[in-house]
Amino acid sequence: MAVPAPEPQIDFEHFQGVDMRVGRITAVEDFPEARVPAWKLTIDLGDEIGFKRSSAQVKNYGRSDLEGRLVVAVVNFPPRQIGPFMSEVLVLGALDDDKGVVLLRPDDDVALGDRIG
């Protein structure tokens, strides 16, 4: 597996501008209109942010693997239109050539909406 070269360096203030939060997937829906196999996810990001929707190309996860799972999501990117669906947050994962996307999550159960930093 070829490992891509690192991205150019950014300063710490730019990193701090990316708002990553812990959420829990509460609903998983089919997304047959997607060009690449994907799920429509509803994610509870706590009282401050609430529920947000995301399209996730995680073909290696079944519906039952995703429902109730903690995830890490970027919550301050602008919404993105994906076919007929508006994706409001970006769920983060490691990109593995063999496994596809491997979702990031905290090791322990933490409060929904907790900031990653």
Q: 51-56 and 90-91 as β-strands: parallel, antiparallel, unpaired?
A: unpaired
Task: List, for residues 58-99, the tens digit of each pLDDT value.
Answer: 888 999 999 999 999 999 999 999 999 999 999 999 988 888
Q: Which fold has domain 18-107?
A: OB fold (Dihydrolipoamide Acetyltransferase, E2P) (2.40.50)
Cβ atoms of residues 117 and 75 within 8 Å: no
pTM equals: 0.90
Residue-range domain boundaries for the chain? 18-107
Helix residue spans in 8-116 (DSSP H): 12-16, 46-49, 63-66
Phi and psi at 87, nearest 5°, equal -90, 125
Q: Looking at residue 101, what DSSP letter applies?
A: E
Cβ atoms of residues 54 and 91 within 8 Å: yes
Token duo for residue 36:
């690449």
Q: Looking at residue 1, what is its pLDDT?
A: 52
